[in-house]
Amino acid sequence: MTKSRARIYLMTVGAVVFWGISYVWMKNVYEYYEPITTMFLRLSLSSFMLYFILKVMRWNEKIARKDYRDFLILSFFSPFLFFIGESFGLKYVSATLASVIVATIPVFTPWLGLIIFRERFSVLNFLGFFISFTGVCIMVLDGEFRLTASPPGLGFLFLAVISALINIVILKKMTMKYSSLTIIKVQNTLGAIMFLPLFLIFDLKDFLLIRPSTGTYISLFNLAFFASTLAFIFFTSAVRVLGIGKTSIFANMIPIVTAVTAFIILKENIDLSKIIGIVIVITGLLLTQIKRQKDVKKKKKELGV
């Protein structure tokens, strides 16, 4: 393995770790700030960092006026609606469960491809969906099939999943025109602007009175710099070299990172049902990714690449 390829793998693992720990960082920030304040500050800081990074890189990609509407719609679903679902869901359920549910997004993607893009839906895709859904059920239901997780929390988290899926449809179009860094910068900036009215109406008064701990500031900075900026840069670089299939396999490990860090830092209880649920969910995710890798290789062979 060359040094450059080893660096890419290291960056991929870094992105996974940052996103996995982000659920713990959010839990820490929630001890003082509400979700709307957290997301407004996180996106504002990340936007500033991205503008600074692109300025240093002398990267100036202009947005065509005709694409403004698409960027607004894109940003409304992600980060705005996605973070509302994820953030408020995290208020009601454990960090581990939240990361597992959000990690099921790749499982639902083939269904989206079937409905929107008329893409082929394989038996293995269906099997992966069924296995992952079973794993989620194990984590949220008890032995008598009673719901143990908070219904509002689950509702918010699945809002995040649905928002991410709609985001994929629009994003597929935008990536043909703009670089990933430009898209992330615009999304985070518009997301911060969308959160601003909610912040001013609901949270500003309390925000001015709250005196958070040093740990809260550190967690907020970590969310903005590592989870919303650096992780996306790392992941984008990995996709460019490794491809979306191989990179997504690494992303499927996010719930494991969250479970371990939540156990160590937040002292969350990880019982046998959670462990089994995580293993089953990830197994289903890997099944869908393995199939996609085979499809990519088959297409390359047909094209003689």
What predicted TM-score, i.e. pTM, was given to this entire model?
0.85
Residue 257: which residues within 8 A CB-CB, separation 6 or more?
16, 17, 19, 20, 21
User: 86, 79, 80, 103: which is closest to 156 by C-alpha?
Assistant: 86
DSSP 67: G
- Name the DSSP letter for residue 141: B
Residue 275: pLDDT over 90 = no
The tens digit of pLDDT for each residue in 112-136 reads: 666 665 656 667 767 877 787 788 8
Contact 51, 199 (CB under 8 A): no
> How many CB atoms sit inside 10 A of residue 118's CB?
8
Domain extents in the chain: 3-303
298 or 120, which is more confident? 120
User: What pairs with residue 141 in β-bridges?
Assistant: 147
Confidence band of 71 (pLDDT split at 50, 70, 90): very high
Give 140-158 pLDDT, tens digit per residue.
Answer: 776 666 778 899 999 999 9
- What pLDDT is stored for residue 199 in this prediction? 97
Q: Is 226 exposed, middle or buried (0-12, 13-18, 19+ CB in 10 A)?
A: buried
Lowest mean pLDDT across 91-95, 131-135, 299-303? 299-303
Q: Would you call the peptide bond into 106 cis, given omega within 30 degrees of 0 as the criterion?
A: no
Residue that wins the pLDDT comparison between 17 and 181 = 17
Q: What is the pLDDT of residues 158-217, one digit of tens each?
A: 999 999 888 877 887 788 888 878 989 999 999 999 999 999 999 999 999 999 999 999
- Alpha-carbon distance of 263 to 268, in angstroms, equals 5
Over 80: is that where the pLDDT of 77 sits?
yes
